[in-house]
Amino acid sequence: MSLEEIRTRIATAEAEAGRPPGSVRLIAVSKVQPDARVRAVLDQGHRLFGENRVQEAAGKWPAFRDAFEGVELYLIGPLQTNKARQAMDLFDAIHSVDRPKLAKTLARLAQERGACPELFIQVNTGEEEQKAGILPAEADAFIAECGALDLPIAGLMCIPPVEETPALHFALLAKIAARNGLEGLSMGMSGDFETAIALGATHVRVGSAIFGEREATPR
């Protein structure tokens, strides 16, 4: 599918949900994709990208930033505290704040640097053991804790369990955000971004539908 088609589908989903045009931002998830495919999407004028590993992003994005103006890069994967400083230098937003230890580290570094990327808290809506994120029952307290640390929390993020109906998870995330006064909702991927938009997504993270299937994901 082309970038243009995805943009059209997003616009249609916005209209169907009665939401203003442009209210949903498209994060093109470029992890593991060959440089030529990423460059092709940059050449078409797209500027917002997501990566899920600090190391990989550090390897490929400085050169793209030099070559293309206005690139925005978001971290959407787990962040180890020992890579937090590097991540803050590299990314314009971090959508995977998922535990108190990381929040405290980010807060300390934000003080030191006098700046902090925009932050989203990842909620493990499916309560999956292998998945990162704050449990729904602990989300309110963690959001408050981040607020007390003066972190710039703009919203919440989730990755629903693959075998479940994503709509229930998107609705749960929207509910937690609303009761905590947060406006950002990072939810929806290639297979379900229209559903996410219907339920209020402000950021959709679309990879394979734009770039094609990924080669085996390294872990």
| Chain residues in the site for ligand PLP (CB under 6 A) | 29, 31, 52, 76-77, 159, 189-190, 205-209
Nearest residue to ligand PLP, by Cβ distance, number only: 207
Whichever of 35 and 112 has its CB closer to ligand PLP, that residue is 35
Q: Which is nearer to ligand PLP, 8 or 111 (CB)?
A: 8
Q: Which is nearer to ligand PLP, 6 or 84 (CB)?
A: 6
* Contact (CB, 8 A) for 75 and 30: no
Q: What is the smallest separation between the CB atom of 27 and ligand PLP, expressed in angstroms?
A: 8
Integer Cα distance of 136 and 149 in angstroms: 20
Cα–Cα separations (whole angstroms), residue 103 to 43, 81, 113, 194, 200: 36, 9, 15, 31, 25
Q: How far is the CB of 31 from ligand PLP (least distance, A)?
A: 6
CA atoms within 13 A on the CB side of 215: 6
Residue 31 vs 169, nearer CB to ligand PLP: 31
**Which residues have C-beta within 8 Å of that of residue 111, sequence separation ≥ 6?**
none
Closest to 190 (Cα-Cα) out of 169, 219, 160:
160
C-beta of residue 146 within 8 angstroms of C-beta of residue 123: no
- Kindly write down the DSSP assignment for every residue of 109-139, as one continuous string: HHHHHT---EEEEEB-TT--TTS-SB-HHHH
Please, what is the minimum distance in Å from the beta carbon of residue 213 to ligand PLP? 8
Closest separation in Å from C-beta 157 to ligand PLP: 8
In angstroms, give the least distance from the CB of 171 to ligand PLP. 18
Pick between residue 132 and residue 149 the one whose CB is nearest to ligand PLP.
132
Looking at the DSSP bridge assignments, the partners of residue 201 are none
In the complex with ligand PLP, the residue whose CB is nearer, 36 or 181, is 36
User: Smallest gap, in angstroms, from Cβ of residue 116 to ligand PLP?
Assistant: 20
Coil, helix or strand at residue 205: strand
Q: Say which residues have a Cβ less than 8 Å from residue 182's Cβ, sequence separation at least 6.
A: 143, 153, 154, 155, 156
